[in-house]
Structure 1
């Protein structure tokens, strides 16, 4: 009997994990730069993209957001001044995997290329 319950629990867990939404995450992007990673949302969350302007500069954010907070505006206060807003960000939600836009520029893929190039130069110098 315990074996059957364990199998039912495992099957339910696999279905729950399979239905989890994957989104891009960027805590704070400035201008066109928003370095992203992938994140798995909780069951009651959707992917979101947020945008706003602070002092004429585009501000972006991405990630998971509770369903009740979707498609809303959030005022971001100036640190230490709770009654003064730095900027307002508009958060728009979507409900499919990685629907909150393509990843922004990411410097990590350049690192292996740089290391490979340096290693090749070093090997060429040693062999000559």
Structure 2
């Protein structure tokens, strides 16, 4: 059975690029347009990995990560930030919130697939 990946980003084009890249690599992809929708979709059905943007309306990525980490089913699920934010301070905040890793946009599709494979197979 294919691993399920939740991608959370307010940019439809980024979600489409991520979904296309991961589906082409054999993953099932669930999409959400902001942190609130991402949290709802994560609670509605277990996923194997979460990819989230930082800057989104409603609930940002760091808040989403903290919210997911409070759920027993997501205590150890890999969560990657995929964002334009690249400062050391923001990365430190991401680690403190529970992010597993950090990818900067624009992303290299092959690098994304490689990282996902390392984390979930």
* TM-score normalised to structure 2 length: 0.24
Bigger Rg, structure 1 or 2: 1
* TM-score normalised to structure 1 length: 0.23
* Structure (1 or 2) with the greater helix fraction: 2
* Structure (1 or 2) with the greater strand fraction: 1
